[in-house]
Amino acid sequence: MTNNSYGNNYTITTWGESHGKALGVVIDGCPAGLKLTEEDIQVFLDRRRPGRSKFATPRAEEDKAEILSGTLDGTTTGCPISVIVRNANQRSQDYSNIASVFRPGHADYTYEEKFGIRDYRGGGRSSGRETIGRVAGGAVASKILAELGVTIDCYTKSIGKYAITDLSDVHMDEIDNPLVMPNDMVAFQAMDYIEKCMKNNDSVGGTIECVIHNAPVGVGEPVFNKLDALLAKAMLSIGAVKGFEMGDGFLVARANGSDNNDEMSYDRDIVFHSNHAGGVLGGISTGQDIVFRVAIKPTPSIGRAQHTIDVNNDEVDINITGRHDPVIVPRAVVVVESMAAITLLDLMMDNMTSRMEYLKKVY
């Protein structure tokens, strides 16, 4: 299996399986001199940890971060940072009855065809637990970005048909609910809907919105490493993500240029009158808020009978047991935020070489 790494300057390499002994990440490219403790990473991991609400899998994992290398007395040394999270609450026996069956909506069939072997215990590398390494890497990236004045708001925008329809309806002081949705009224409607789905042994999907504040102008390369292109790659590499849109996204297909163009003026600084482009033009950041959304599919593991085939191509009906999220969206919020931080930081490091004056500032 190749390509377990992401990033060029700030690089994460994730490792481990859902029911293995541990999972983790190796972070290359973190500058020396950053104050970093395990608690800085734990805050992020706690946001994706299972068992925190009735809308998440009851798998009871502490997901405790241990930094194995790359720091000295709470400060990064410039060496690779290795973070490990040990699995402690696997119940592999929950999967014994479907070891030879391809679960609908999962990667069982494609893994079997590609590798000739697969880890049926929770999906191995295709499990959502792989994102532990991404989140740990994102925690460090976010801390670096914060020192540069860049912050990220990431939250649940919709569950099923219940959605926050406009940025003006986003109230970050109302985000402290099980759905990580910054609008109490919509959150309560969505929670009621999820409970109905759970009673029907079904699951539900939704969308996550991410807003990056104070990103500098000029981040992103004009051709293949466009900022929006790499954000799309980062988001679509998350197992549950099935769609990505920037700014107005697919609504631009129904717009006119006179409506969609973000007009500009100058008042002691450049001012944009709107942000239909989502803070990126020509693959390069404009200095406005960077705004994008991702679509998260419903959890494929549901309690209803489903028709499928087994490794012998025999047709079977299965009922999936075990501990599964009725909705993935709330726990995926921090994963989206982490991948956004990693992508932006990596391209900001690239941008340090785009002008002679930048090199002269350093050397």
Helix (H) or strand (E) holding 159: strand 151-159
What pLDDT is attached to residue 58?
A: 62
Q: Which residues of the chain have pLDDT under 70?
A: 51-53, 56-60, 89-97, 322-323
Res 304: pLDDT: 86
pLDDT recorded at residue 294: 98
Note the pLDDT of residue 318: 87
pLDDT of residue 62: 84
Confirm if 103 and 124 have CB atoms less than 8 A apart: no
Provide DSSP, 63-92.
Answer: --EEEEESEETTEE-SSPEEEEEE-----G
Query: What pLDDT shows up at residue 317?
Result: 92
pLDDT for residue 120: 83
- Would you state the pLDDT for residue 322? 66
Which is it for strands 284-285 and 290-296: parallel, antiparallel or unpaired?
A: unpaired
The confidence score (pLDDT) of residue 52 equals 66
For residue 89, the model assigns a pLDDT of 64
Buried b (16+ CB within 10 A) or exposed e, 55-93: bbbebebebebebeebbeeeebbeeebbbbbbbeebeee
- For residues 237 and 249, the answer to whether their CB atoms sit within 8 Å is no
- Residue 292: which H helix or E strand, with range? strand 290-296
